Amino acid sequence: MLRAVADTHTVIWYLFADERLSATARAAIEDAASSGDQIAFSSITLAEIIYLSEKGRIPMATLERLLTVLDREDTVLVEIPFDRHIALALRQIERNQVPDLPDRLIAATALYLGLPLISRNHRIQVAGLKTIW
């Protein structure tokens, strides 16, 4: 069962046990894992990881680490591909509230799936989506 959708920073910080991931966010992921449930992330996160790695903002090994985690049979993380249903949900996320396209796609993924979004992004939080942080 899917419990929530994680944004890109949440995924990265979880992978590296980064202290910037809030205790509440970490607990939500760990609780899902211990229950055999999963945390979703948008496929745009893969592109963002490559982009951020190329810019030198995150370690180059981030993508490989995520792919290794995804290949595990008991992984807590699961990729949700972008499709027309999420594209239609995107229209419900106001561009003036969430101007960054990757953030809008991630928010639309959570909206379409009817799940809370694990994110510290204040713009997303004020856009009316249920968030965990």
Q: Which CATH architecture has domain 2-132?
A: 3-Layer(aba) Sandwich (3.40)
The pLDDT of residue 83 is 97
The pLDDT of residue 123 is 83
The pLDDT of residue 128 is 78
Long-range contacts at 70-74 (CB < 8 A, ≥ 24 apart): 74/33
Position 32, amino acid: A
The pLDDT of residue 126 is 66
As a whole number of angstroms, the distance between CA 79 and CA 122 comes to 23
| Rounded mean pLDDT for each run of 10 residues along the chain, 133 residues in total | 98 97 98 98 98 96 97 96 97 92 96 96 80 95
Q: Where are the domains of the chain?
A: 2-132
